[in-house]
Structure 1
Amino acid sequence: MKNNNDKARDKKLKNGFYKSFNRANKSIFWFFILLAFLFGALVVKLLHIQIVQSEELTISALNQLTRTETINSNRGIIYDRNKKELAINTTKSNVFYNMDVLDQRQNESLTDFNDRKKKLFDEDAKLISDVLGEDYEEIREKFKGDKVVRIATNVDKMKANKLRELRTQLANEKEEGSKEKKKNLSAMSIDDVTRRLYPFNNLASYIIGFTNDENMGQYGIEASYDEELTGIPGKNVSLKDNASNKIPLTDEETYAPKEGYSIVLSIDANIQQFAETAAENAKKENKADKVSIIVQDTMTGEIIAMTTKDDYNLNDPKKPINEEQEKNWDEYTDEEKTKIWYDNWRDFNINDQYEPGSTFKVITTAAAIEQNVAQPDSIFTCNGSMRVGDRTLTCTSHTRGPKTLAKAIEESCNMTLIQVGNELGKEELLRYIKAFGFGKKTGIELYGESTGIIPRSADEISAVNLATMSYGHSIAVSPIQLVNAVSAICNGGYLNKPTIFKEAIDANGNIIEKNKTQLRRRVISQETSEKMKYMMKKVVENGTGKLAAVDGYQVGGKSGTANIATPTGYLDAYNSSFVGVAPLNDPRLTVLVVINNPKNGILGGAVAAPVVSEVLNKSLNYLKIQKTEEIKSEENYVTVPEVEGLLLEDAGRKILNNKLKFNINTDKGLDYAVVTNQNPSAGSYVLEDSIIDLAVNDNLGAEKVMPNLSKMTRKEVESILNYMNLEYNIKGNGDFISQAPKAGTKVDSSTRVTVNYANNDDNLKKEPTEEKNIVSNNEDRSTKNNNVNKNKDKDKDNKN
């Protein structure tokens, strides 16, 4: 029997158990309450996600999976006024290398890992440089960092394909003494890109400009019409996983790109070539620093040709442009090279300014005649010098005493023009200077145009300034301003906007935008214009411009010579110039020639006038403008033959047979090169011994050009098609009937060529095989290529 103590103890234990049990139940209860709350919150959150955020999260998920790939549009072509291609597109390749190609092996020391990596980079640099034909050290220098680096740009497609083939070959080989496969070139990647190709290299380089590695226009028309030429890129939208694999059962959308518009320029490639040849010759003959030429349509303001020599190669714009740069190139710092590039790309005709000298006298004279303060027969007296303010001004004319204004212009008399300027007054002279477009951009469609330097107001013109401005000193103009003003003087007084743009066309040839002559203002009357043409004609007939004469045509002009001005003063060097217009009875062309720092004479009438004559002579005859004057000496002109689509050897022979010479845009891969373009074009009327520029495709790359097979024997056809690595089918054995694709068509390795000859029973007996099929592009053609005639030496002999 339990005593009271035992009962008290049992009661205490029982109460303690209940208390503990109750506490545990409460904890469990609250635990389940918490779980219920969390579960409820989770359900609410799921409902919120499913109902409220469903659309937003779905879009976000799709965005993470969506891959958008840009499809570049083809850049528009740049043509001359006759639709000759001056800038086209071609496929090039960029070579990249992933510097993070190797992983450190287990138990491999850091030193061993770095040695293994260096060995791989050395070997890969050697492999790449050998295929590209580049200097090993230059390629190896680019293997830096731990990211993807660009090894080479604008690589020929054929070389890029060789690198791809080499990478595939090495991927199947194993390291010596190891079961691991070689890592060589596994980190290399190659992207094919569309790049610009300029068939005639330097031709019209300052007008056309070039594109950078991103295919964006830099300088010239490529820059000023970059948006129109570029077009609108397309895109491909698809769902892909993290490994860039397309997710099955998902849609893919492609938005086609909009091709860029093509630009037709006002320049004539043939006349451009005449100007460039004349500038190059004048530079050499006069040992000048530069020679600039502008040819403008007198009536419309269109620029027909414009050049400055030296100029740069559009296909390699960073290449040195003269012997001095080539000689010292390796010694220049990067900063010096950058400055030289910008100087090389700067167009004197548009971007720079100079003191025009006596060519400006026609501006002063036209203003005076229009204001009736002087006329061609007005008498002025030249004493050889004149004291104006604190300066004594001298005359370049050799005759003294009274003379008419017409005679003064003929002799380029400074003293007469000072008097004319005083009669006109500084307010009126400045008004006409501005009216002729000086001191303001002309608006030509090229960036960086100079405004020149003229007084801001008449109050800034001192007596000395008025005197010197009258004959073209103490004032700065751009060549484009001056040639445009002289055109206005000779076209009846109409100042037009000079233009290089003719029209924009789409891929189907539809005209999107067409340029029209834009009249700025009328500056002088028709009567004044006729008087000015009369005086300019006398300059060429009897005065300082005799060397500008052209047989069969009336030519007018004005010479100019002025010290080269710098911000710190005048140099002991000159700009010698001449501006000419022809034919004066029906003005068509205005030509300005500026020779910078000539060493063999300085007078514009002696060094620049003959260049104007050469350009006018070739251009007027090429345009077949009727002669109206007596012909003193008949020069021999010939017609340029059609050679596009011919093999270079055949084209060269045809050109030489027509008493012409030729020049090609490359000296590589000429075995079976095909002429893709020629300048001047077929049918042009040029002097004997003129040089015809030929653009050729060597038919070694991925993009080939089909030659004209009509004059070839069957064996010759087989030989060239084997050389081009094309599949072909030749039918018949008689006379040539047809070929497909046609001559001049662009082809690739997938193209199959069909050549048809007439059936000939006699030939069939001798050669029973009527049809021959070459079905493999990959077979070994080394024995067949032994029959290929090597004509490189002959081509080099004919190259001029």
Structure 2
Amino acid sequence: MTDKPSLKMKTRLTIWLCLPVLLLLIYMIWGIWKVSIKEGAKWKELANSQQLKSTVVPASRGSMYDAKGNVLAQSATVYRIYVDPIMLKQQCDARDKRIEELKAAIKEEDSTEKVLKYKEELDNAKTSTETFDELVEFLALKLKMDTGDVRSKLGDITSQYIILGEGIEKTLRDEIEAKLTELKIDGVRGEEQTKRVYPQESLAAHVLGYTDFEDNGIYGLEAYYDDYLKGVDGRVVTAKDKDGNDIPYRYKQSYDVQNGNDLNLNIDINIQYMLEKGLQKAYEENQPTDRVCGIIMNPKTGQVYAEATAFSYDPNEPSLISDKQVAAKLAGMKNTPEYETERQNAWSLQWKDKCVSELYFPGSVFKIITGASALEEKAISLEDTFTCGGHITVEDRDISCWTTGDHGTQNLAAAMANSCNPAFVQIGLKLGADNFVKYFDGFGYNELTGIDLPGEVNSYNIHQLNWLGPVELATSAFGQTNKVTPIQMITAVSAAVNGGYVVTPRVVSSITDQNGNVVKRNEREVKRQIISEETSASMREILKGVVETNKSSNCYIPGYSIGGKSGTSQKLDENAKGDTYVGSYCAFAPAEDPEIIMLVLVDHPTGEQFYGSMVAAPICQEVLSEVLPYIGMFPNYTEEELESVSINVPNVQYYTVEEATKTLEELGFVVKIKGEGDTVLRQMPASVKIEHGGSVVLYTDQRTEIEKVTVPSIQGLTRSQAKATLETYGLNLIAEGSAAAEEVSYALGDQTYEPGTSVPLGTAVTVTFATMEVASQ
């Protein structure tokens, strides 16, 4: 009789039978937990990478506009050309496979019609090698790449995404797509990206900066406001098949693009053009080794209307060296070991904004600050006098005046007009070291101005400002010790003439989004008032007197009230001999209530002149002569100025004699009529600027011959003598040269018509005038 299993045995058996199942269940649960929770993110990412495709929709970088709404920078759609080598190989393999299928079908097919069809397809089919080679050659040609490099990239099946070209225009992308269609192959594609375009080319390049291939801001406003400009890219996520092709009907999720914000600048492209034209002239005439720069701004608000460095560059092609001499030098050393270093140095210098990133000794322009500080501190008065014997001794140091003579006894106004070094040494010593440092700091020289441009540097003091001995203070007082940036200098002078307020200079007025909503507005920012309104008014009057006293050496413009000061400094830290210079000039208008201020700096001129009054003042004069009428400031001539002012002669041809006479006489011209007709048929001169009170000859019939006169010699005559002499011959004067506005000036002998030449009655003769000596540095 067999024993029946006991309950204990049954229980044990059940446990042994269930244990593996339980362990398996636990393992499965653990596995599910591990995959779905612990490693869920990893597996989800892997699945998405295999099943989903994410396409970036690049954000459009914000645009930049000048003060009048003109486009300075904007983004255009271009393409990145890339290859998927795996897809390309699959398509090439499929092509070879099809060729083999066609060959087999031709052998096996009984139908003549089908055989002919297969043969036609086979005859037109290209092998994968033929297709690949043709594509390589085409892309190398169009993308300007090395054939071997293209072949290597197209054949690299370790990647599905290899870039062939960036910033490709739509026309070229279309050509590539047409070629792929012709070859009946896929694998090379174009995806949208943006390219920065600067429609004004080199205009305001140092202000704007440029972007790299990744659309990141490099230099200028592009860098400073990069976070505002660049926006946020969007994405489109879709399902994809095994070959990587989109299946949007299965799944599609879009994430909206956020385009960048726009910058609205205080820069006016017309004022910017006028400034750059003047700086280019200064560069060509003086050939400075360390470039030229200039700034035009509102002294009350700090709004920057124009800012430039010459040579400039084209931000559309920033790597192209714009200075022809530098470019030629680099071309001559292309295969030398030093080439790459020199090229990097050339780029660095070309892109560097001299106005904010380079230091210079301000020279006599700094006397404005010394004078204002001493007046404000009541260390001196307007009536105090200072003696100049041509030099002054401070302790063991003999300090010379800039001129070989002496200025005698003079008050502050005269000392400023004479730009007298010994006088300002005395003023500086009266001010004292502690007060000098106090105002040096107060005018903003020991801090960044805060201008919204990258790369601004701070001043450099050869002597420690917390310990200025008498000699150091003396040389500091006339701008020969402390190095500052041009933006610091013009900001400080602005404070001296705007009522004493140190303002923050601003290039950008506001930032707006794509709907025109204001994201940020740069309001006027006053840091402090460093001098009183009364002291500032005194400085304006003194600086107006500087211009009126020495017209030929300053920014004198007939019909305008201008204040200004020139500066010439030695670059002693670079050249101990002291024969390398910086010439500069700062001018503002109107002198009584300034609305505009301008600074021009010529660093180490190598021409015949180096004084700021000779290399920089004429540029300020020319530029402001254009800028002031443009911004609505028109000339108001004094009686004295009317005697010598040049006025454009309008073309009155085909006017009636009565109309022509009235038009010309209202402008102050003397009209001479030749002939018996009623209509003006010819005139002499026309469309040129001649002296007020000059004569215009009108011919009213064809019978009257043009009257001729002989040109006299006017060499050595003063301006008034030259004008009177020419008038006796029936000729007109056009005065040019550095002393054209001065009565005490002399004709150099340069005139457009040689003495003895026969010319028509009324002809305008251009004469160059100059003074016998430089009136100011």
Same-fold call, TM cutoff 0.5: yes
**Partners of 1:329 and 1:192 in 2: how far apart?**
36
Partner of 1:40: 22
Compared with structure 1, are the counterparts of its residues 503 and 355 closer, same or farther at alpha carbon in structure 2 (3 Å cutoff)? same
Cα distance in 1 for partners of 2:219, 2:31 equals: 55
The answer to whether 1:539 aligns with 2:521 is no
| Deviation digits for residues 656-702 of structure 1 (CA, Å, limit 9, x no counterpart) | xxxxxxxxxxxxxxxxxxxxxxxxxxxxxxx999xxxxxxxxxxxxx
Change beyond 3 A, Cα 1:143–1:267? farther
Cα 1:56–1:634 change in 2 (3 A) is farther
Which of residues 371, 377, 382 is equivalent to 2:383?
Answer: 377
With over 3 angstroms needed to count, the CA separation of the structure-2 counterparts of 1:274 and 1:70, relative to structure 1, is same
Q: In the TM superposition, what are the counterparts of 1:238-637 in structure 2 within 5 Å?
A: 238-240=238-240, 243-246=243-246, 250-289=250-289, 290-330=291-331, 331-332=333-334, 333-397=339-403, 398-454=405-461, 458-543=465-550, 546-566=553-573, 569=576, 572-598=579-605, 599-630=607-638, 632=642, 633-634=645-646, 636=648
Tell me the alpha carbon deviations over residues 501-556 of structure 1, each in whole angstroms, 9 at most, x when there is no partner. 20011111122221110001001111111111111111111137644112221001
- Give the corresponding residue for 2:206: 206
CA displacement, residues 330-379 of structure 1 (integer Å, 9 cap, x when unaligned): 43433332232122111110011100111101000000111112233321
SS of the equivalent of 2:567 reads strand
Contact (CA 8 Å) 2:584, 2:600: kept in 1 or not? yes
Answer whether contact 1:455 1:461 (CA < 8 A) is retained: no
Aligned to 1:9: none
Tell me the residue number matched to 2:56: 70
The 3-state SS of whatever aligns with 1:572 is coil
Q: Cα–Cα, structure 1 residues 88 and 229, in superposed 2: closer, same or farther, change >3 Å? A: same
Deviation at 1:326, TM superposition (A): 2.1
TM-score normalised per structure 2 = 0.70
Give 1:266's aligned amino acid. Answer: N
Whole-Å Cα distance in 2 between the matches of residues 393 and 248 of structure 1? Answer: 83
Q: Which runs of 5+ in 2 are unaligned?
A: 1-11, 94-126, 651-686, 690-777
Deviations 1:479-515 (A, max 9, x none): 0000011111111111111111200111111222211
Partner of residue 142 from structure 2, selected from 131, 156, 160: 131
TM-score by length of 1: 0.68
Percent of residue pairs identical: 29
Structure 1 residue 47: deviation in Å? 4.3
Amino acid at match of 2:166: T
C-alpha contact (below 8 Å) 1:65/1:239 kept by paired residues: no
What is the aligned partner in structure 2 of residue 193 from structure 1?
Answer: 193
Q: Which of 140, 165, 173 pairs up with 1:160?
A: 173
2:714 counterpart residue number: none
CA distance in 2, matches of 1:637, 1:261: 49
Structure 1 distance, partners of 2:598, 2:649, is 22
User: Following TM superposition, by how much is the alpha carbon of 1:45 offset from its aligned partner in structure 2, in angstroms?
Assistant: 3.2
Residues 544 and 621 of structure 1: CA distance in aligned 2, closer, same or farther (over 3 Å): closer
Quickly say closer, same or farther: Cα 1:559–1:246, change in 2 above 3 A.
same
Q: Which moved more, 1:201-210 or 1:375-384?
A: 375-384
Q: State how far apart, in whole Å, the 2-side matches of 1:278 and 1:493 are.
A: 29
Compared with structure 1, are the counterparts of its residues 159 and 602 closer, same or farther at alpha carbon in structure 2 (3 Å cutoff)?
same
Distance 2:219 2:17 in 1: 72
Give the Cα separation in 1 of the matches to 2:531 and 2:459.
22
Render the CA deviation track for 1:605-624: whole Å, top value 9, x for unaligned: 11100111122111111111
The C-alpha deviation readout for 1:295-335, integer Å capped at 9, x for no partner, is 01011011110000101101001111211232133434333
Letter in 2 for 1:541: E
Deviates more, 1:84-93 or 1:63-72: 63-72
Q: What are the superposed Cα offsets for residues 62-98 of structure 1, whole Å, 9 maximum, x if unpaired?
A: 4333344332221111111121110011122233456
Query: Structure 1 pair 163/238, CA: closer, same or farther in 2 (3 Å)?
Result: closer
Give how far 1:55 is off: 6.2
Amino acid at match of 2:298: D
**Corresponding position of 1:753:** none
* Letter in structure 1 aligned against 2:27: K
Give yes or no for contact 1:376–1:535 (8 Å, CA) kept in 2: no
Q: Distance in 2 between matches of 1:286 and 1:457?
A: 34
Distance 1:559 1:127, change over 3 A: same
Which residue of structure 1 lines up, in the alignment, with residue 102 of structure 2? none
Instruction: Show CA shifts across 1:697-735 (max 9, x none).
Output: xxxxxxxxxxxxxxxxxxxxxxxxxxxxxxxxxxxxxxx
1:474 positional shift = 1.1
SS in structure 2 of the partner of residue 93 of structure 1: strand
Distance 1:415 1:299, change over 3 A: same
Question: What is the CA–CA distance in structure 2 between the aligned matches of 1:544 and 1:122, rounded to whole Å?
Answer: 75
Counterpart position of 1:770: none
Distance change >3 Å, CA 98–CA 544, structure 1 → 2: farther
Cα distance in 2 for partners of 1:33, 1:248 equals: 53
- Structure 2 CA distance for partners of 1:151 and 1:320, relative to 1, 3 Å: farther
Is the 2:463–2:472 contact (alpha carbons within 8 Å) kept by the matching residues of 1? no
Cα distance change on mapping 1:287 and 1:194 into 2, 3 Å: same
Q: Quick one: distance in 2 between partners of 1:406 and 1:217?
A: 48
The structural deviation recorded for 1:268 is 1.0
Instruction: Give, as a single letter, the amino acid of the residue that structure 1 aligns with 2:407.
Output: R
1:286, distance to aligned residue in structure 2 (A): 1.8
**Cα shift at 1:39:** 3.8
CA contact (8 A) 1:377 1:406 kept: no
Counterpart secondary structure, 1:586? coil
Question: Any idea what the Cα deviations from partners look like across 1:97-133, whole Å, max 9, x if unmatched?
Answer: 568877999xxxxxxxxxx99999986665345435x
